[in-house]
Chains A and B, each alone.
Chain A
Amino acid sequence: MEKELIHLSHISKSYDGSLVLDDLDLKIRENEFMTLLGPSGCGKTTTLRLLGGFETPDAGSVFFDGADITALPPNERKLNTVFQKYALFPHMSIAENIAFGLKISKKSKSYISDKIKYALKLVNLDGFEKRSVDSLSGGQQQRIAIARAIVNEPKVLLLDEPLGALDLKLRQDMQYELIRLKEELGITFVYVTHDQEEALTMSDTIVVMNQGYIQQIGTPEDIYNEPTNAFVADFIGDSNIIDGTMIKDKLVNILGVTIPCVDTGFGQNKPVDVVIRPEDVELSDPPNGFMEGDIVSIIFKGVHYEIEVRANGYDWLVHTTKLFSVGTHVGISVIPFNIQIMNKPESSDEKAVEIDV
């Protein structure tokens, strides 16, 4: 386990009276690729801007390497930002853009020109020194923005939805590029996105946020397989989220059917959210399965079919590679291990879970 580098301690922030972050506490370790993931307005960008020094918290402190940097302006922080809209300086050439930070910190000319070469190589844009910003495509501009940030050798690179403005293919290429960069540079990345696929692909740790609260912190596998609540389950991938009642340990009732599960400790006859991933739902010929229903629609998605099955008044979302036809009567089954049981939200910060789902 690497040592802790950044600690956001009990941060609160509001704009015009509306609370954006409420008592947020987050620790970022050295060399971690951490992604702040959530819908727009969840506070992820504000968190990043607090780290960059562009915002000051109403309450709480930011610690960097053990020192309190809450009041430090951006230019005195040892981290650099890659902005969503690139924010390259239009009156400067590519080389001048990359050299900007180094010139400000008064590095020698030979050092700067070496760094420019190195950085352009790193982002696969050798020979672009003399080009103007306007002559570059969006993807190229974003790579220059990354180069401009990393030549300063920051301990942490902050990335604010850097791939948001790029098209799908380019976005996927850049994801691999970023992973490669992260490995070559060996620095901490804090990445903000609303794209769950991006988050799952690149991150060591994902922080799922909603309404200014952290919903879950974990590895991509944790977040996907063991979502702690219905919001996370719904935001990360597709899910069947069904109201259920925990009869007793390892036994849950959904849609009038009692089925076995593996969860314990919820008490008896407690209302719960039951989350089942679409790829975990198995379809078979009746009377197999714990429930029977009819196929309402089938959509071909490339890797799998997305099937909707109406059973006991609920439209089940099913991903399967087997071919079925609309109108077929099928049996539904899920192995107990793949049934996730979650508490219904109770307290105020848990309530943020319900909105937006």
Chain B
Amino acid sequence: MYNFKRQFLSGPYIIWIVGFIVLPILVICYYGITDASGSFTLENIIAISEPIHMKALLLSLKLALVSTLLCLALSYPLAMILNGLHVKHQSFIVFIFVLPMWMNFMLRILAWQLILSNNGILNTVFQALGLPRVSLLNTPAAVVFGMVYDYLPFMILPIYNSMSRIGNDIVDAARDLGCNKFQVFAKIILPLTVSGVLSGIIMVFVPALTSFVISNLLGGGKVLLIGNVIEQEFMQNTNWNMGSGLSIVLMIFVIASMAFMNSHNKEGEGTAVW
């Protein structure tokens, strides 16, 4: 009886998981392997090999990879600087970095649209400085800009978390045993932050791979990512079967990349932010 009551408490979560996670996935799988008449087909999944779809998928992978690497390159030194700061200031500066996450996602991207556009703030500044104008908007570079800006906190936080858990005495011990500062980094700091880096990579790479809003707003329809293709199948072509089939392919890529990351996370302690 006691056990039954305890299990009962998980009821709302089970309803949530079934209703909003399992069921939609099943529906997508169903649409993905059927045609408009409802009979079984693999055409929707094989459709990924069509040149336009393949191009979109490869571009998505490329931009997601570039954004992730840029985020990593920015975040790691930042996390180190943060971690080295006086304790009093640390949480405040972390707060500053996380602050944009509390603003509406669309607003942030729209702001970038204004900054990067041909008559935008960036070009105004360039002009005032006597530099040539750049047309960044509606290029893959603009999409990468948006992604890096949007997902940076998701990279900084797990890295910073894993770094701040390394005690000063661990670093002292390494110094004591003969490490110079570079060796301390290579043999202590880096290995102990791998789990943070891996969760950061997943948390940036996966949303970047599946994003379509950023490429819509900053790519202006000229940068077609796999997310945009799927969106168009659903919204414009109302071909739910095709959209679902491509979604399944994308999901496989997402799951594969997460599995790859997890297999490299020897620590197994997951330094995710939440």
A binding-site residues for B, Cβ under 8 Å: 52-54, 73-75, 80-81, 83-85, 87-91, 100-101, 104-105, 145, 148-149, 152
Minimum Cβ distance to chain B for residue A95 (Å): 14
Q: Is the CB of B173 within 8 A of A87?
A: yes
- Asked if residues B179 and A75 are in contact (CB atoms below 8 Å), the reply is yes
Question: Which among A52, A73, A91, A104 is the interface contact of B192 at CB below 8 angstroms?
Answer: A91
* Residue B104 interfacial (CB < 8 Å): no
Contacts of A145 in B (CB 8 A): 173
Given A75-B178, A105-B178: A89 touches B173 (CB 8 Å cut-off): yes
State how many angstroms separate the Cβ of A194 from the closest Cβ of chain B. Answer: 18
| Interface residue SS majority, chain A | loop
Q: Mark B173-191, 1 if CB is under 8 A from A, else 0.
A: 1111111100100011001
Given contacts A75-B180, A104-B183, contact A89 B174 (CB under 8 A): yes
Q: Which of B93-101, B153-161, B164-172, B253-261 contacts A (4 or more CB under 8 A)?
A: B164-172
* Alpha-carbon separation in the docked complex, A151 to B178 (Å): 12
Interface contacts beyond A75-B175, A104-B187, A149-B177: sample of 17 additional A-B pairs, CB < 8 Å, sorted by A: A52-B172, A53-B176, A73-B175, A73-B180, A74-B176, A75-B178, A85-B169, A87-B167, A87-B169, A87-B170, A89-B173, A89-B188, A91-B191, A100-B174, A100-B177, A100-B187, A104-B177
- Which partner residue on chain B sits nearest A101 by CB separation? B177
Interface presence of B43 (CB below 8 A)? no
- With A85-B167, A87-B170, A89-B170: A152-B192 Cβ-Cβ less than 8 Å: no
Residues of A within 8 A of B192 (CB): 90-91
Question: How distant is the Cα of A91 from the Cα of B266 in the complex, in angstroms?
Answer: 9
Which residues on B sit within 8 Å (CB–CB) of A100? Answer: 174, 177, 187
Q: Is the CB of A104 within 8 A of B179?
A: yes
Please name all residues of chain A whose beta carbon is closer than 8 Å to the beta carbon of B174 when the two chains form the complex. 89, 100
Contact between A152 and B173, CB atoms less than 8 A apart: no
Q: Which residues of A contact B170 (CB under 8 A)?
A: 87, 89-90
Instruction: Give A349 Cβ to nearest chain B Cβ, in Å.
Output: 30
- List 14 A-B pairs, Cβ < 8 Å: A53-B176, A74-B176, A75-B177, A75-B180, A80-B176, A83-B169, A87-B169, A89-B173, A90-B192, A91-B267, A100-B174, A101-B178, A152-B177, A152-B178
B233 to chain A, nearest CB (A): 46
A104 to B188, CA, bound (A): 12
Contact B169 A75 (CB under 8 A): no
The 7 closest A-B pairs by CB, nearest first: A101-B177, A87-B169, A87-B173, A104-B178, A74-B175, A81-B176, A83-B169
Q: Please, which residues of chain B bring their CB within 8 A of the CB of A89? A: 170, 173-174, 188
Which of these, A84, A91, A148, contacts B177 with CB under 8 Å?
A: A148
Total contacting residues, chain B, CB less than 8 A: 18
Chain B residue with Cβ nearest A91: B191
- What 1/0 flags go to B210-252 for Cβ under 8 Å of A? 0000000000000000000000000000000000000000000
Complex Cα gap A104–B177 (Å): 8
B179 contacts across to A, CB distance below 8 A: 75, 104
* Closest Cβ–Cβ distance, residue B214 to chain A (whole Å): 36
Complex contact A54–B178 (CB within 8 A): no
A84-B169 contact, Cβ under 8 Å, with A89-B188, A91-B192, A91-B267: yes
Per-residue interface assignment for chain B, residues 83 to 100, with 1 indicating a CB less than 8 Å from any chain A CB and 0 otherwise? 000000000000000000
Task: Please give, as numbers and ranges, the residues of chain A lying within 8 Å of B178 by CB-CB distance.
Answer: 75, 101, 104-105, 152
**Residues in chain B near residue A149, CB distance under 8 A:** 176-177
Contact A52 B188 (CB under 8 A): no
A104 to B173, CA, bound (A): 13
Cβ-neighbour of A52 out of B176, B180, B183, B187 (below 8 A): B176
Q: A81 contacts B172, CB within 8 Å?
A: yes
Tell me if A80 and B177 are in contact (CB < 8 A): yes
Name the residue in B177, B183, B188, B267 with the highest tally of chain A Cβ atoms < 10 Å from its Cβ.
B177
Least distance between A6 CB and chain B CB atoms (Å)? 16
Choose one: A87, A91, A101, A104; the contact of B172 (CB below 8 Å). Answer: A87
Residues of A near B169 (CB, < 8 A) are 83-85, 87
